[in-house]
């Protein structure tokens, strides 16, 4: 299952992103997170977002390159 501490940090980071989006009252757009929030419960989306962040972090560490977010 992995390190409990890292799992918790990834989950908290995902929840922070979701709560920030809710506080800013951003209108739903066509991005991945908005689509997931419309279809699924918040905690399930947070776990999915944490998993997505973990995969991205692993890919950056494995490749030894800089993280470059995709432009919209």
Percent of the chain with pLDDT over 90: 56
Percent helix, strand, coil in the chain, to 5, is: 70, 0, 30
Provide the pLDDT for residue 29: 67
| pLDDT higher than threshold 90 for residue 71 | no
pTM attached to this predicted model: 0.83
Predicted confidence band at 72 (pLDDT cuts at 50, 70, 90)? very low
Instruction: Spell out the domain ranges in the chain.
Output: 4-63
Average pLDDT, the chain: 88
Q: In angstroms, rounded to a whole number, what is the distance separating the alpha carbons of residues 50 and 26?
A: 21
Sign of CA dihedral 20, 59, 47, 6: negative
């Amino acid at each position: 299952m992995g390190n409990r501490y890292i799992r918790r940090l990834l989950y908290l980071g995902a929840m922070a992103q979701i709560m920030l989006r809710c506080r800013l009252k951003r209108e739903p757009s066509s991005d991945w997170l908005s689509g997931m929030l419309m279809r699924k419960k918040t905690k399930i989306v947070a776990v999915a977002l944490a998993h997505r962040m973990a995969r991205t972090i692993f890919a950056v560490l494995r490749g030894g390159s800089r993280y470059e977010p995709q432009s919209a």
